[in-house]
Amino acid sequence: MSTQKRAYKFRCYPTDEQKQMLARTFGCVRFTYNWALRLKTDAFYKEHTRLYYKDLSSMLTELKKQDDYRWLNEVSSVPVQQALRHLDKAFINFFEGRGKYPTFKKKRKKQSATYTSSAFTFRHGVLTLAKMQEPLAIVWSRPLPAGAIPSSITVSQDAAGRYFVSLLVQEDIAHLIPCETTIGADLGLKSFVALSDGEMVGNPRFFQQDEKKLAKAQRRLAKKQKGSKNREKARRTVARIHARIADRRADFLHKLSTRLIRENQTICVESLELKNMVKNRSLSKSISDVGWSQFVSLLEYKADWYDRNLVTIDKWYPSSKRCFDCGYIFESLTLDVRQWTCPECGVHHDRDMNAAKNIRSVGLTVLNACGEAVRPGAVKTNAGKSQRSRKPKK
């Protein structure tokens, strides 16, 4: 059993008065974030100095005293202050190579505000935020852990106008019973994943299913006059289609990743360089739709939660071109070739299934730190651990 921070997200339905207060709060948070980002950027490039959270916090206090910015005091100060912390975290992620340079927040994109424990009350399933008289109407789609007390709460509104509340709690997550099952997974486009035990999970192609409907809604949006109510209605229609695609994809990936984690002790996957793969103009739309990166991220944190092993082998390992039976490696194997026969041993292979078996074999070898391995490079197992691979044996 391990103690982890876990967020529980629920749909909520604020009243008209609460919507107005949330809209003002979102606006103040967005303004503070953008204001601080501009100050930090200008200070670095123009004055060659750096501003930190402490400096920006003091400057924000002085800003609120000015007559032109008195409206910042109309909402709770906690979400506004948290915007500075989020910006500080964004810069830390940028300098440590985990993210891009922070960008300005936009009004028509997702909005959010984070409340710490001093800015909300939560008793017996009733949540009341600061500056609000009535509690939020939340649809409790699943129960919180017994005795859980949220340390922070994030209220968000997506581009489709839906409201959500996310409660961050400390939870003791029980590890799954260890098992001996291991599996290799080859991610693809024709089938979403081919498993080394022979199972093929089809690619749902959620974007392709709604592509025509989305294109029609976007054409209607382009014809509407900017600033009109009809344009806002058309924008919401486009946003709802995007939300439907994203929700269905997330549901599929969560269910599949949870099943694989529960059924297997070790899962071996191949690392993919998606930034380079989406440069292929013929496949970029399909690659963006399939959600490989999100799927691997789900496997990573779920493996950490439930004490499973996730091994990621090197992206340059020839899993598709290598014969699983004899080790023969094809010099070239184009994407249109889905099945091939090994000229060395004569075994007929399905391309994806052969790759899944090779990924499993190499992943287990790396995990046990002996035998055949892949090219030099760090090979990740579960979160926070890594193992160094070796060159293939000749």
Residue 307, by phi and psi: left (phi above 0), alpha (psi -120 to 50) or beta? Answer: left
Helices 211-223 and 229-263: angle between axes, nearest 10 degrees: 160
Q: Which listed residue (186, 289, 300, 314) is catalytic?
A: 186
Residue 232 CA to residue 253 CA, distance in Å, equals 31
Cβ count within 10 A of residue 336: 5
Residue 366 CA to residue 14 CA, distance in Å, equals 51
Is 325 among the catalytic positions?
no
Is 270 among the catalytic positions?
yes
Q: Which listed residue (88, 158, 270, 300) is catalytic?
A: 270
Residue 170, by phi and psi: left (phi above 0), alpha (psi -120 to 50) or beta? Answer: beta
Structure tokens at 90: 């964004």
Question: If 0-12 CB within 10 Å is exposed, 13-18 middle and 19+ buried, where does residue 31 land?
Answer: middle
Q: Which listed residue (88, 300, 314, 352) is catalytic?
A: 352
In 3D, which of 78, 167, 170, 172 has the Cα closest to residue 125? 167
> Going by DSSP bridges, is the β-strand pair 182-187/120-123 parallel, antiparallel, or unpaired?
unpaired
CA dihedral sign, ordered 34, 100, 380, 351: positive
Residue with tokens 């920006």: 56
Max CA pair span of the chain = 82
Residue 304 CA to residue 246 CA, distance in Å, equals 25
Going by the DSSP 8-state scheme, the letter that residue 281 receives in this structure is: T
Is 263 among the catalytic positions?
no
Residue 186 CA to residue 280 CA, distance in Å, equals 20
- Given a contact cutoff of 8 angstroms between Cβ atoms, the answer to whether 153 and 129 are in contact is yes
Half-sphere exposure of 231 (CA within 13 A, CB side): 8
Report how far apart the first and last C-alpha atoms of the chain are (Å, whole number).
Answer: 43
What is the set of active-site residues? 186, 270, 352
